Amino acid sequence: MRAAPHLRRVHAGSTSCPTPTSLLKPPLPQDNFDLLVIPGGAKGAETMASSSPVQHFVREYLERGKFVGMICAGSMAALTSGLPKQPLTSHPSVRDYLKEDFEYSEDPVVVSGTLVTSRGPGTAFPFALTLVELLCGAKKRGEVAASMVFPLGTFA
């Protein structure tokens, strides 16, 4: 017997972020979500990029005009998902894998249609704020940035 039998089963990843197990297999209910984010982290990004369900989700979200974010080595999922040549960025450690098949940039955040990529931990705030702006507008980005109390002129 579970302590909370009314709760659905969840899976916790390496960062202890709970995910309902029903969401871990295709078909992912795309209508319930506006954004798919592929995180970084060397081993985790490699695992996600090599996952055929993740590749399916990436292609399906982009085909539906929904946003897909990739940060750090998570940008490898653009390659393994067979995305067409377009601007993107990534962690420098995977640059050489991507530079031939994409228009590689070293900008902190690159937006190409509904694909949003970023470089790594140091660009996580600009990446997140860009996603907020794309989903909720510039005003909401400003509100979120202000509440973070960044030094003046930083990430706003």
Q: What is the Cα 27 distance to its own chain's centre? A: 18
Alpha-carbon gap, residue 6 to 9, rounded angstroms: 9
17 counts as catalytic: no
pTM, 2 dp: 0.82
pLDDT in tens, 113-131: 999 999 999 999 999 999 9
State the catalytic residue, choosing from 28, 72, 116, 128.
Answer: 72
Confidence of residue 6 (pLDDT cuts 50, 70, 90): very low
pLDDT in tens, 37-88: 999 998 999 999 999 999 999 999 999 999 999 999 999 999 999 999 999 9
- Give residue limits of the domains in the chain: 34-147
**The domain defined by 34-147 carries CATH number 3.60.90.10:** no
